[in-house]
Structure 1
Amino acid sequence: MRALIPPFPEGSEADSLQEWRIRIDLIDRLVLALLNERAVCANRIGRLKKQQGMPVYVPSREDEVLRNVMESNRGPLPDASVKHLFERIIDEIRALERRYVQGEQGEG
């Protein structure tokens, strides 16, 4: 996968703490935008699950997501860390999806 943020220019002296912190701040904003996009997708999936009478929690799908991200991991994060991070993301998104689906039921 290609980097979303270009590397520092060849030969540049990107050794200042401030430069690296600015870069991390940018990465954090990108991660947040992607997490929110994931939440939008999950809410739409929740709507489809509701229409099809499916439960919000589908363990086999969560296992598949974890397998996918761990197979895609090229480091430096260890697989255990990737698994932990994505378990947390999945938990939070599932809770949001559940609230969204329950809120929709109240609107009907």
Structure 2
Amino acid sequence: MDLEECRREIDVLDRDLTKILERRMQVVAEVAAYKKEHHMEIYDPRRERQVLDKIANLTVQKELSPYLRRIYQCIMDESKKYEREHMGL
């Protein structure tokens, strides 16, 4: 594959990822509403560890696992910020 083909494929993947991440953030807003209604904390370290471990286990190319864990940590950090905003904190 040449550089332009790679870039076109990345563009398609970015479009798909954006849709998926946008949907994920919509669900995060629902989680925030639930947590606010039930007086729950935003940060749940046990849940965060579970998600990161799940991602590591889902990764087929194990050498990518640390990169994907860091990407998901960023996603979760931004999700927590979004939750705080939706909870008015």
TM-score normalised per structure 1:
0.76
Larger Rg: 1
Instruction: Determine whether 1:53 maps to 2:78.
Output: no
Higher relative contact order (CA 8 A, sep 6+): 2
* Cross-structure match for 1:37: 23
Q: 2:21 and 2:63 mapped to 1: Cα distance?
A: 18
Q: Which structure is higher in helix share? A: 2
Residue 76 of structure 1 deviates from its aligned partner by 6.3
* Cross-structure match for 1:12: none
TM-score normalised per structure 2:
0.90
Aligned-residue Cα RMSD (Å) equals 1.5
Amino acid at match of 2:24: R
Q: Residues 1-108 of structure 1 correspond to what in structure 2 (within 5 A)?
A: 15-75=1-61, 78-102=64-88
Residue 17 of structure 1 deviates from its aligned partner by 2.2
